[in-house]
Structure 1
Amino acid sequence: MKLKIAVQKSGRLHDESLRLLKDCGISIDNGKDQLKAPAKNFPLEIYYLRNGDIPQYLKDGVVDCAIVGENLLVEKGDGITHMQPLGFSKCRVSIAVSKIFEYDSVQDLAGKRIATSYPVTLQKYLSEHGIEADLHIINGSVEIAPNIGLADAICDIVSSGSTLFKNNLKEVEVILQSEAVLAASPRIPEAAKAYLENLQFRIESVLKGRSSRYVLLNAPDEQLEQIIEILPGMKSPTVLPLAEKGWSSIHSVVPQDEFWEKIEALKAAGAEGILVCPIEKMVV
């Protein structure tokens, strides 16, 4: 029995998905153009699938789990369990209009033609605002629709916004914030659930490591209490006496998104010789 996991065959999610599995200590035999490959050191088999097909494979139980965009699950993945946000491939599903469109609010979309690859997500949003519009379902190159007179607006996935800019469009409404997630099939066999839990444990350890930094510093003993308040650590900081009397070494973990604030506060409190190291994995 092996855990069957689907990842995107090519595109935004592919490389980051494989990197995550590698960081989880899973080695995959991946020959060129393979659609299925086994792991060497974990009971796992990876399926390389078209992105849009992954939700149906999960629903049918062809695969047990997948690394897939949350936006795709909202659109096509009713009944599929979101196990874990993964922190990469962040994007949003947004409505955009021509730069010359005089847009004040979502009510301006009433009766308009909107081209989209996300009809379910868009219709839900419009219905919540009591708006009726004419939806044109397009797969690919949605941004060109207003320029050729096919639609008044579009609803599509947006990352940097550069594609909208190139097509003389402006983003006016954000419907959904999305990122890659680990998702589980509603039909996953009982025998595979233990492997999935093991995989999720490894993923959580990798993600915690990526989002944290290990900090080592020297501090005068009279400032220890103030510095420890800045660096709470996972439970509490490690404090070790230095050879020089009156000084101690403090070791702790800092969330990456608080890093610069903490460093500035530590320097102001008298910390010296601050070293910052990446954390490969963190098990708590």
Structure 2
Amino acid sequence: MDTTVRIALQKKGRLLDDSLALLKESDIKFNIGNGRLVAQSTAFPIEALFLRDDDIPQTVHEGVADIGIVGENEYLEKGYDLDVVKRLGFSKCRLSLAIPKSDHYTGVGWFDGKKVATSYPEILKKFFAKEKINAEIHEIAGSVEIAPGIGLADAIFDIVSSGSTLVANSLKEVAVVMNSEAVLVANKNLDDEKREILDQMLFRFQAVQSSDSNKYILLNAPNDKVKDIVAILPGMKSPTVLPLAEAGWSSVHSVISEKKFWEVIDQLKANGAQGILIIPIEKMIL
């Protein structure tokens, strides 16, 4: 019987959209429709389960799913012993403490003796214990941001992305407890065949994400400037230099990090580079 890896994914929301986008770019596609909770990939030995995000850590821990993509916040809150295989770099947010906008914040000691509403009591307990804060934690399943306004709590501890929800409820963010992003987690008891499939998937993820953070660059340079320009473009190993039909000129090809894009472009122009072309990379195999 062929081995299939089962992956748990959030059944809706931004994390699902980001996860499916990465899988699709890695040529791992699912036939999804009509509220299906299970879907098989047509070109890769993997099956998807679509679950509530807070059910994913337990599902992977118990072996119902072999791996899962989940928010780091949910993984830490549930506390199951899983392998964090890869930080995925998307669906980023932060877990923060927020208080009414009209209150004067004096530091983390402000929370001593206060009641704080949250959907993440375990993470908050650890934070308060570390800071030696004695606060009452009130667990709420949803709509945490309304708790101060209806007199249920003095403050909240919740996910913050843009901060617009806080503003809409007359709250202000006063302390970031942790930053979170999507992580790929795995059951610690995967057999060798399933680990091999997981490794193949990770290889594809790496190729996609490396291409997202790098650009292919082509430029023309006078031969007496090639050495200086090559020093600016380290590339994956070293830039490729090819002679042009016009005497005294060469074409230089390389890969640059998107983070250093403008810095590198300015240096190239200052060293005589012309006809600079920047091309997206579809996949990048390191």
Correspondence 1:107 to 2:109: yes
SS in 2 for 1:5: strand
Quote the residue 1:132 is aligned against: 134
Q: Specify the code of the residue in structure 2 equivalent to 1:64.
A: D
Which residue in 2 is equivalent to 1:202? Answer: 204
- Please report how far the alpha carbon of residue 101 of structure 1 lies from its aligned counterpart in structure 2 after TM superposition: 1.3
Where in structure 2 are there 5+ consecutive unaligned residues?
Answer: none
State how far apart, in whole Å, the 2-side matches of 1:263 and 1:175 are.
Answer: 38
Q: Note the alpha carbon deviations across 1:212-261, whole angstroms, 9 max, x for none.
A: 11111111112112211211001111111111111111111111111111
Q: Tell me the SS of whatever aligns to 1:275.
A: strand
Partner of 1:141: 143
1:27, distance to aligned residue in structure 2 (A)? 2.6
How far, CA to CA, are the matches of 1:233 and 1:190 in structure 2? 35
RMSD of aligned alpha carbons: 1.1
Which residue does 1:161 correspond to in 2? 163
| Cα offsets for 1:102-126 (capped at 9, x unmatched) | 1121111111111001111111111
Compute the TM-score of the two structures, normalised by the length of structure 2.
Answer: 0.96
- Which letter does structure 1 place at the counterpart of 2:84? H
* 1:85 Cα offset (Å): 1.4
Alignment counterpart, residue 34 of structure 1, candidates 33, 36, 39 = 36
Cα distance in 2, alignment partners of residues 42 and 57 from structure 1: 21
**How far 1:186 moved relative to its partner?**
2.0
SS in structure 2 of the partner of residue 146 of structure 1: coil
The CA deviation at 1:150 is: 1.0
TM-aligned CA distance change 1:77 to 1:280, over 3 Å: farther
* Distance in 2, Cα, partners of 1:119 & 1:10: 23
How many angstroms apart in 2 are the aligned matches of 1:132 and 1:18? 42
Distance 1:169 1:31 in 2: 39
SS of 1:140's equivalent in the other structure is coil
Length-normalised TM-score, structure 1: 0.97
Amino acid at match of 1:195: I
SS of the equivalent of 1:236 reads coil
Task: Look up the match of 1:62.
Answer: 64
Measured in 2, the distance between the counterparts of 1:171 and 1:259 equals 33
Tell me which amino acid in the other structure corresponds to 1:102: H
Secondary structure at the counterpart of residue 206 of structure 1 = helix
Q: Cα distance, 1:189 vs. partner?
A: 3.1
Cα displacement string for residues 22-45 of structure 1 (whole angstroms, at most 9, x for unaligned residues): 111113222321110111111100
User: Which residue of the partner structure matches residue 285 of structure 2?
Assistant: 283
Structure 1's 278 and 77: CA in aligned 2 closer, same or farther, altered over 3 A?
farther
Over the matched positions of the two proteins, sequence identity in percent amounts to 52
**How far is the alpha carbon of 1:58 from its aligned partner?**
0.9
